[in-house]
Amino acid sequence: MDSGVKKPGVTSSQVAEHAGVSQSAVSRTFTPGASISSKTRQKVLASAKELGYRPNAIARSLITNRSRIIAVVMAYLENLFYPDVLEELGRALAAENYHLLLFTGFMDRDSDPVFDQLMQYRVDGIILASTSLSSELSEECATAGIPVVLFNRTTERDAVSSVTTRNREGGKRIAEFLVAGGHKSFGYIAGLENSSTNRDRFQGYVEGLAGHGITSVATETGNYSRVEAQDAARRMFTRPDRPEALFVANDHMAVAVMDVARYEFGLRIPQDISIVGYDDVGPATWTSYGITSMSQPVKRMVEATVDILMDQIASGEIEAEHRILNGDLVVRTSARLPQSGIVSRDGQQIFRPKEA
């Protein structure tokens, strides 16, 4: 049982005294671009090293009004897409000398309590992945001058930026692919009903099919969850109108769906049923699954996200910016192949119809 007091660290004043200079000199030594002679600088650095001094980022934040912390709110970490994103974000933010305060395990609705926490730390920016934000809160961020970026979601709300891929075109491309593969009946396993990704992918899919005179799509909902996707798959495969081509709204669900198809219904993929996913993430590439999937360029999406944040932090202008990137339909073995339209790029097979 101790007092519970953390030993105080070395302060700039202590370093100053030790080096025989003022506290200002110490501060300037650790402030890039500040006016300081290299002689005193060396003295300070020597003393700092000897005393084990490290600038206190907390104190610095207080006066600069910059925490150099970015809040990241992320759920669905069980979907490997997001750990992937997280890892890239960590890298990209570190490169800009920013740090990542992670809030996790919150679903769409209750992002508000977590929001309170994150605002208390005066974060310089907010990244919302697989989560949305109420309009009051996004408004509050805007007036507080804190940039917000939705990652892999989008919203009409101004003052909230977003980074996505062309989900509608992706859905459409998948429709083209499946039609070109000679399929006659089509199904869709949906993600979260109110998510923009799900809405756009489905819309594109339906449009694409409609372009070929197909108006009926068997739909079940998996809510981007593995367990629910399994149930959705079971319902789908017991329908009298079981489709021969199935678009599953993301790979995370597609993996679950494939296991159900093969091991619970004895379906052969792609002979009995073609399955196409979305994200082109980890397990999609494993030989057991080999999912034909629309890719989302994680690295470029992350770059765009950080780019938007850095811009808005530097300029102080919070103005919604929507970056929309392109993906490719990576062709593997989970769906029947069309006669034409498949090209090779970077060692991968890509579906690229002529009119695209």
**How many other C-beta atoms can be found within 10 angstroms of the C-beta atom of residue 242?**
16
CB of 149 to a copy of itself, least distance (A): 16
CB of 77 to DNA, least distance (A): 31
Among a copy of itself, DNA, none, the one that 21 touches (CB under a kind-dependent 5 to 8 A) is DNA
- Contacts with a copy of itself in 143-162 (CB under 8 A)? 143-146
Can you tell me whether residue 346 is helix, strand or coil?
Answer: coil
- Contacts with a copy of itself in 303-332 (CB under 8 A)? 313-317
Beta-strand relationship, 322-325 and 161-165: parallel
CA distance 56 to 6: 15
CB of 25 to a copy of itself, least distance (A): 19
CB of 55 to a copy of itself, least distance (A): 6
**Interaction of residue 22 with DNA, rule CB under 7 A:** yes
Phi, psi for 100 (deg, rounded to 5): -115, 110
Among DNA, a copy of itself, none, the one that 150 touches (CB under a kind-dependent 5 to 8 A) is none
Give the one residue of 51, 80, 218, 342 binding a copy of itself; rule: CB under 8 A: 80
Compare residues 147 and 170 and give the one whose CB is closer to a copy of itself: 147
- Contacts with a copy of itself in 16-75 (CB under 8 A)? 52, 54-59, 61-62, 65-67, 69, 72
CA distance 164 to 196: 10
CB of 3 to DNA, least distance (A): 11
Longest dimension (CA), the chain: 86
Among DNA, a copy of itself, none, the one that 37 touches (CB under a kind-dependent 5 to 8 A) is DNA
**Interaction of residue 263 with a copy of itself, rule CB under 8 A:** yes
CA distance 60 to 226: 44
Helices (H), the chain: 12-19, 23-29, 38-51, 57-64, 81-95, 111-120, 135-144, 167-180, 196-210, 226-238, 251-263, 298-315
Tell the residue number behind the tokens 């949305």, with chain if given. Answer: 132
Positions that interact with DNA (CB under 7 A) = 8-9, 11-13, 20-25, 27-28, 30-31, 34-41, 53-56, 59-60, 62-65
